[in-house]
Amino acid sequence: MTVADVVKVLASLSWLLVIGAIAFLVATAARRGGVGRVIPLVIGGVVLALALTVASAGLVAVDEREIGVVRNPFQQQVEPKGLRPESMGAGLHWVVPFVETVTTYSISRQTYTMASVATEGQVTGDDSIPARTKDGQQVQIDASLIYEIDPAQVIQLHIAWQARYEDQVIRPVARSAIRDAVSQFGVEEIVSSKRAELEQAITDDIATKLAAQNLRLSDFLLRNITFSDEYAKAVEQKQIAEQLAQQAEFIVEQRKQEAEQARQVAEGQADAAVIAAEGGAKARLVQAEAEAKALDLIAAALKDNPDLIQYTYVQKLGANVQVMLVPSNSPYLFNLPQVPEATVAPEPAPAAPVPAPTTTP
């Protein structure tokens, strides 16, 4: 509660006291009592009530979030006529009681909303802005303006609009700027690539027009864009088609990746087979070279010592070998000695039979 409010309360209480004192005075007079001591009390109460009333009418408290315009009908010498040339800032001020009146305006930032939801905007019901795009599509715009009064121009605002600036300036300027800007864009542009450009165009237009009416735009919010049912269905079908196309493209790309992966695997296997074959061939070549070199060494050793092969063969025989059958008509590793053919003695002639002895009886 400010000082001005306290003074007003005291003024009201003083008048109640005056009324009570007058009633007491009348009651005392009716009983033919002495009223000499009551009259000064009544007069004092009236004087006090008048003083407090005058003080309450002259004291004006302006909040720190407000600015005041003082109207003085006798001020006709300077412009603006009927108003003080200077506005009244925050604090406690004195004006001419019962002559000057103060109209206060909020200098805080204020929001004006136009929306399709009944409880969100300043106007009850659907207050969205209908607009038509460059390609003839009907859209509904929900928007909010954040604005403030220019303190340096509050007297001019008061002269031009007083308290009507919200309904007669903010609202028509915003709706006109939104319609004009939307008409410069196609419907697909305002929902995708050029929405920010649309919002900036509206902001610039509104800011210029409000500045001409002594108001300052702090921000413009493009809250929502609603389309007709037919266009919404078309957009939905288009999005479904695009999603299907993207899905098909993804499948094709996946198949390509799988084919590429299979090709790389096959190529890797082929390279591995070639490398393995080359390795095997080199191994066989090295082995053949080693065997050939070994055979050359063996041949040289046999040339100098032909019996070495027989010795080696004997070393390979088992330890329990006692008898070996050697075919007569097959070559053999051993140089067997030549056994001379034995002289075959003639068979003796058969002997004459011996006569059996004769027995004499």
How far is residue 310 from each of residues 41, 52, 138, 317, measured CA to CA in Å? Answer: 165, 153, 114, 11
pTM: 0.58
By CB atoms closer than 10 A (0-12, 13-18, 19+), residue 15 is: middle
Q: State residue 78's pLDDT score.
A: 65
Q: What CATH number was assigned to the domain covering residues 110-227?
A: 3.30.479.30
Residue the block writes with tokens 């000499």: 36
pLDDT tens-digit profile of 184-221? 998 888 888 899 999 999 999 999 999 999 999 999 99
Instruction: Report the distance separating Cα 219 and Cα 233, nearest Å.
Output: 33
Phi, psi of 358, rounded to the nearest 5 degrees: -95, 135
What stretches in the chain show pLDDT beneath 50? 336, 339, 343-344, 354, 356-361
Element of type H or E holding 39:
helix 38-58
Q: State residue 293's pLDDT score.
A: 84
Contact 134, 124 (CB under 8 A): no
**Termini Cα distance of the chain:** 198
Instruction: Report the distance separating Cα 201 and Cα 57, nearest Å.
Output: 48
Instruction: Report the distance separating Cα 149 and Cα 214, nearest Å.
Output: 7
Rg (CA), the chain: 64
By CB atoms closer than 10 A (0-12, 13-18, 19+), residue 156 is: middle
